[in-house]
Chain A
Amino acid sequence: MNDTTLQNFQTQQDSSTASEEAVRHYSDAPTPDKGQPVTRNESVEENLSVRVRDLSLWYGEHQALNDISIDIFANTVTALIGPSGCGKSTFLRCLNRMNDLISSVRIKGLVEMDGHDVNARGMDEVALRRRVGMVFQKPNPFPKSIYENVAYAPRMHDMVSRKTDQDELVERALRDAGLWNEVKDKLHEPGTSLSGGQQQRLCIARAIAVQPDIILMDEPTSALDPISTATIEDLMDKLKKDFTIVTVTHNMQQAARVADYTAFFHLGDMIEYNATKQMFANPHTKKAEDYITGRYG
């Protein structure tokens, strides 16, 4: 198995037995061989957070994801990169079933979290989203006060009963999102009155306020200036202590800076998934290499 290389990884998309093999291949003990599709990063403690197997997704007749298999490890930052339209955002939205909102979507395959198939009939998507928070590309605070933006979801989920608990929770979430000092004197002003970068951190505070396991970030910094981007990147680094972060980014440097693992998507296929260092220093596939070095996409 040690000499299984990316050819194996690519062929798995055609044959289910090969994919079975590949599955075992990266969930079982990995070898340090650089031919491995996934090289585990020894510096972080790794527990499996989400296991995805043979995930395919169709928008009507158009297939947007082809047999994606990936393991996402707890308390890491995983970056999904790839050219526009490659399916990385679609994949991200599979993790909290946001694709359910689009009626023409059809999904096949396994997305397993905590031993449960999230697409199973018995899985309530509201419960899932309680554990898998999301931050969007464009900052989208609720048209309510800063305080209400953070307090709304915990209150809705009955996480707080008393006003003081709620105040505490709001403060903690805003502190964790690095926003507290900037907004503590204007908690009751509209969330939309903040700057773009602050709004995005407010959205992060809103997501972590319900204490999810995973936070999905869909190009969280693409609408922000470089300084705000740096702030958010620092924040992601801090937040991975408590949360598992999966982020989509167009910015290769950002993936290199913040991610422990990087997955490269292309036209609905996952071409390569690897530790970020490995991916950027020595990509196994021509496509990934071309993309990373800027010759492609």
Chain B
Amino acid sequence: MSQSFEEISAQLKKRHRRSARMKWMTLGALILSAAFLVVFISDMVVRGWPAFQQAQIQVEVSYDEQSQKLPLAAVDEDVRPLISRGFFRPLPRKMEDNPALMDTTQTQWVIADSRVDQYLKGNEDRLRPADKETLENLVEEGRADLKFNTTFFTTGDSKMPEMAGIASAAIGTVMTMLVTMAVCFPIGVMTAVYLEEFAPDNKLTQIIEININNLAAVPSILFGLLGLAVYISFFGVPRSSPLVGGLTLALMTLPVIIISTRAALRSVPDSIRHAAFGVGCSRWQVVRDHVLPVSLPGILTGSIIGLAQAMGETAPLIIVGMVAFIPDASLSITGASTVMPAQIFTWASEPNSAFAEKTAGGILVLLAVLIFLNALAVWLRNKFERRW
């Protein structure tokens, strides 16, 4: 005796209710995580945006013998305390390099002191009353204002917040990542190709596979210790250098690249391998001409995500000395250098509110680079994707 529609519907009601409940719960989870993301990013933008602006003051700078000896003399006494020391210091050299400037007076916008900057942004008021009055007058005359902060993108770290920038850390990041990529991309891809395409399926390869999977879950600071012990102590690679940082991050990224490459290789249907073997390809020809071209988008995506992860890494770099005060970018891979997350870490430990906004600004730059890398990964995947 079969059941009537009414009976079946009565039972179904409960199941449908459960489906609807699960749908709302899963949707709720999505909304919650999206909300976290929105709150996080908007908080960073609100905090970091001021870092892209910098107070500047228009003053008359007199380039003469006196200011060559005593740079502070180049501007009027009353505005002197409002101007960054970072402006005065290089003045004598500027005049030496540029003799035409000598004995002229130029009206120019110069970088203001961080106290002025913070005052104009409404953060904190540490100016003396007299200086404040001068500043108010300058603002009224339109000779003091917040302008786009090019210094932030062109200089390295500084003890003067108004002179501190992300540039040397960005260069350090680029060089560290180049080292990481040059080391772990070929090694990772070749390891994966061996394990996936050449290795016999036996106990040994299974043990290796389990170990690689576990390596991906090892806390990154341990890789820093390994880097310190092996690269610096044993091989004598210079500490704080992009070379040692890159090699350390390569250790960390290698398992990620191996795992994602293996997944990409495994997703290539065996029918393509069989077709290639069937026409008389050697194993390497099968891999080079058929498997790798098809799996390339997956390999690139995995590698870029692995690199992006390494790029945001700070802990192992603390151990190998890359969290350092680096005012000038070194363009050598063995020179002392720092990376963006390490720079952010350094700024975050400064008590000054001017550095707090640098911290957020640095995070925004790092996020922008990471988003760019991920977009690149998506683009590469779409560009090389083939259908079969």
A residues apposed to B, CB below 8 Å: 96, 98, 101, 103, 126-127, 129-130, 133-136, 138, 140-143, 152-153, 156-157, 190, 192, 203, 206-207, 210
Contact = CB atoms under 8 A, between A and B. Distances in A.
Contacts of A153: 279-281
B179 interface: no
A143 B386 contact: yes
A142 B276 contact: yes
B272 A143 contact: yes
30 contacts: A98-B278, A101-B273, A101-B277, A103-B200, A103-B201, A126-B280, A126-B282, A129-B278, A129-B280, A134-B274, A136-B275, A136-B278, A140-B269, A140-B271, A140-B275, A142-B290, A143-B290, A143-B294, A143-B387, A153-B280, A153-B281, A156-B280, A156-B281, A156-B285, A192-B388, A203-B275, A206-B279, A207-B278, A207-B279, A210-B279
A141 B275 contact: yes
Given A129-B278, A156-B285, A138 B271 contact: yes
B289 interface: yes
B271 A136 contact: yes
Instruction: List the 7 closest pairs (A to B, CB-CB), nearest first.
Output: A153-B279, A134-B278, A140-B271, A129-B280, A130-B280, A143-B388, A143-B386
B278 A133 contact: yes
A134 B289 CA distance: 18
Contacts of A140: 269, 271-272, 274-275
Contacts of B388: 141, 143, 192
A156 B269 CA distance: 22
B274 A136 contact: yes
Contacts of A206: 275, 279
A195 B278 CA distance: 21
Given A152-B279, A156-B281, A156-B285, 9 more contacts: A98-B277, A133-B279, A136-B271, A136-B274, A141-B275, A142-B272, A142-B275, A143-B294, A153-B280
Nearest to A102: B201
B290 A157 contact: no
Nearest to A100: B277
Contacts of B273: 101
Contacts of B285: 156
